[in-house]
Amino acid sequence: MSDTNGYVVVFGCKRCGKCRDVCPVGAIYEENELAKIDPEKCNLCMKCIDECTNRSIIYMD
């Protein structure tokens, strides 16, 4: 989204893996089994936020 200055972060990942394959640009990766977001790849599509039932992936302004 070109008109947005926000970003997506992971806070309190429960290691469920539900977000693992949902990112269309491959911005989600795992580090010590915890989900992480690569801000250089993320296009703010919000699919990971919709998929995370733990509400651990959030959008920050």
Question: 22: domain CATH number?
Answer: 3.30.70.20
Name the strand (E) or helix (H) holding 50.
Answer: helix 47-51
Q: How many domains does the chain have?
A: 1
User: pLDDT at residue 1 above 80?
Assistant: no
pLDDT tens digits along 11-39:
999 999 999 899 999 999 999 999 999 99
Where in the sequence is the domain holding 47, given as residue range(s)? 7-60
Specify the residue for token string 């693992």.
20
Q: Per the domain annotation, does 21 fall within a domain?
A: yes
Q: Per the domain annotation, does 1 fall within a domain?
A: no
> Distance of CA 18 to CAs 2, 6, 12, 13, Å?
27, 23, 14, 11
Q: Per the domain annotation, does 34 fall within a domain?
A: yes
Looking at residue 2, what is its pLDDT?
Answer: 45
Q: Per the domain annotation, does 2 fall within a domain?
A: no
Looking at residue 5, what is its pLDDT?
Answer: 80
Task: Assign 30 to helix, strand or coil.
Answer: strand
Looking at residue 3, what is its pLDDT?
Answer: 54
Distance CA 21, CA 7 (A): 19
